Structure 1
Amino acid sequence: MQETELAMVRTTELVAGRPWRVFRWHRGQAHYSGWHWSATMGRHVVYESRLELARLLLADFDPRVVSIAAQPFHVTGRSDGRTRRHVPDFLLVDRSGVVTVVNVKPAELLGDPKVSEALAWAGSVFAGRGWVHEVWSEVDEAVLANVRFLAGYRHRERVSADLVARIEGAVEEPVSLGALEAALPHQFCEVRPAVLHLLWRGTLRADLSVPLSGSTVLERAA
């Protein structure tokens, strides 16, 4: 453990470090903690609740995110005559170097004055460091279900690299998943996993607000 001014902290050190808190599991606990294997990081990232797992999945799915750290640091400071302490849930770094500190809170807690006050203080601290502060509570259930499903196809080594490259080059105009499968009858059983992998990678895109199916229209991502 190291102590320093927040202004002196390097994000690379936070990403490479261990989670601040030690996670323990016990019978009857209110939250479900665990480890998610992150394709972005190439290793497991911890989460403390199902809501945190949802945000972690979305971060891992986002092609703009290049680094994810869970429980990255513990910050203390004085505010209104009292000492405040805070451990954020995630730290995300995107391709342009923008750092976003994420606090995951159930929507029903955001109206609690103590919670909103603590989050406002944390936000001001992170803004002073030049970081974005995100308070995250929920996402559309259909989108989350699709992302959770696509996460099963995040492993590059489990799909044909040649077929992935072939499909990637073939989708020049919008096309349905079913039509793409029909166009490659000799590899029919392999096409869908390859397409779902490309959707996970962000190479292809589709409307994730509705369930994925053979009629899903695929487009090349910008």
Structure 2
Amino acid sequence: MRSLESSVPHRLGRRTNFIPALEGKPAKWADVIESVSDAQKRASLAKSVVSTTLVRDPDGRPIVTTADVDVMAQLTPDQLFAVRRPASHKGMRNYISRVTVPSQAHDSRAVWCESFNELSHLRDLLITMQPTQVSTQPLRLEWVFASGVRSHVPDFLLRVDGGKTMLVDVTTRSKLDDPRLRSILQLTRATAETIGWEYEVRTELPPQRVRNLNFVHAGRRDVRQDRSSAARLLRQARRPIDVERASQLLGGGSLGYLRLWDLIAHGLAHIPLDEPIDIDSRVSSDRPAGGGSWLVNL
């Protein structure tokens, strides 16, 4: 890992960047697409990748560093600051936001989302994957081609159960029609696999799921309950149980519902997220199986 001069934040259109600009001329897209389509060349590019990161030094201050594959394999989301931040601007169409996320190194942490699509997916991951660490815009991946360089900033880096690390990109179905983006995402997947990370490309969530995620996420509040004991109570209840029955087990009335939404929002209880929520919705202690129409296999 090589330390660089700490970058002065600079505004470039819709984003504020905290790392130096990429050096070198951009690689020709024809070269990128051809190289990535060849499995051997793609693997070679993945092994030779370099990233620019903004990491926390021993005093807690951000420093700009570069890292190869071996060093990246040791990085954790809690070590990383965002390498860029969305900025509001006149005529903007994106919905930018900050989200409180889990952390093992800090009492609390908030990260930026660059769009409503990203926000919805982060909420989905917080509920369904229960990550212990989260960083957004965590690093800039840089690859050298014969005709120049290309880079990519993934959207999320998460540490999940079992110590696994997951890199995530969020986009839209229509953008995947662009062979340039598909090539970059395919190369990002190969790079993540070389590092030892899992990788997901996510597109738009179904509208009903987004509505449910927004509703459930609003239930992340301190309702003065022992979440572990409450989750255990639901697990021990006679099956099956629905929303109404679960709320009664948790104290009944409005407080029982608040406690239930709090458990669901923290991933300690689960309900179907792809259909309307009502008092008859089934409550489960089992994490939902992976997969969904929004996951793309490139």
1:163 and 1:91 map into 2 onto residues whose CA distance is 26
Secondary structure of the equivalent of 1:160? coil
Query: How far 1:221 sits from its partner (Å)?
Result: 2.8
Instruction: Report % sequence identity.
Output: 21
Corresponding residue for residue 162 of structure 2:
96
Pick one of 150, 160, 171 that aligns with 2:224.
Answer: 160
Aligned length: 217
Pick closer, same or farther for the CA change 1:32–1:162 going to 2, 3 Å: closer
Pick closer, same or farther for the CA change 1:7–1:176 going to 2, 3 Å: same
Runs of at least 4 residues of structure 1 off by over 6 A?
none
Residue pair 2:138, 2:156 contacting (<8 A) in 1 also: yes
TM-score by length of 2: 0.66
**Are 1:219 and 2:267 an aligned pair?**
no
Query: How far 1:180 sits from its partner (Å)?
Result: 4.3
**Are 1:147 and 2:213 an aligned pair?**
yes
Query: How far 1:3 sits from its partner (Å)?
Result: 1.4
2:206 and 2:146 map into 1 onto residues whose CA distance is 37
Corresponding residue for residue 174 of structure 2:
108
Pick closer, same or farther for the CA change 1:98–1:188 going to 2, 3 Å: same
Corresponding residue for residue 169 of structure 1:
233
Secondary structure of the equivalent of 2:125? helix
Secondary structure of the equivalent of 2:139? coil
1:81 and 1:43 map into 2 onto residues whose CA distance is 40
Query: How far 1:27 sits from its partner (Å)?
Result: 2.1
Query: How far 1:83 sits from its partner (Å)?
Result: 1.1
Corresponding residue for residue 53 of structure 1:
119
Residue pair 1:202, 1:221 contacting (<8 A) in 2 also: no
Query: How far 1:4 sits from its partner (Å)?
Result: 2.3
2:260 and 2:220 map into 1 onto residues whose CA distance is 11
1:164 and 1:123 map into 2 onto residues whose CA distance is 36
Query: How far 1:118 sits from its partner (Å)?
Result: 1.5
1:99 partner letter: T
Corresponding residue for residue 199 of structure 1:
264
Pick closer, same or farther for the CA change 1:83–1:141 going to 2, 3 Å: same
Residue pair 2:137, 2:153 contacting (<8 A) in 1 also: yes
Corresponding residue for residue 11 of structure 1:
75
2:166 and 2:230 map into 1 onto residues whose CA distance is 35
1:25 and 1:162 map into 2 onto residues whose CA distance is 39
Residue pair 1:177, 1:215 contacting (<8 A) in 2 also: yes
1:107 and 1:47 map into 2 onto residues whose CA distance is 19
Secondary structure of the equivalent of 1:76? strand
Residue pair 2:165, 2:197 contacting (<8 A) in 1 also: yes
Pick one of 88, 96, 99 that aligns with 1:36.
Answer: 99
Secondary structure of the equivalent of 2:190? helix
Q: Identify which range, 44-53 or 114-123, moves more after superposition.
A: 114-123
Residue pair 2:231, 2:269 contacting (<8 A) in 1 also: no
Query: How far 1:89 sits from its partner (Å)?
Result: 0.7
Query: How far 1:123 sits from its partner (Å)?
Result: 1.8
Pick one of 123, 131, 150 that aligns with 1:84.
Answer: 150
Query: How far 1:61 sits from its partner (Å)?
Result: 1.2
Residue pair 2:249, 2:256 contacting (<8 A) in 1 also: no
TM-score by length of 1: 0.86
Residue pair 1:106, 1:138 contacting (<8 A) in 2 also: yes
2:178 and 2:169 map into 1 onto residues whose CA distance is 15
Deviations 1:148-172 (A, max 9, x none): 11111123x2x13169845741534
1:11 and 1:135 map into 2 onto residues whose CA distance is 21
Pick one of 120, 125, 135 that aligns with 2:191.
Answer: 125
Pick closer, same or farther for the CA change 1:5–1:181 going to 2, 3 Å: closer
Residue pair 2:248, 2:256 contacting (<8 A) in 1 also: no
Residue pair 1:164, 1:194 contacting (<8 A) in 2 also: no
Pick closer, same or farther for the CA change 1:141–1:22 going to 2, 3 Å: closer
Residue pair 2:86, 2:96 contacting (<8 A) in 1 also: yes
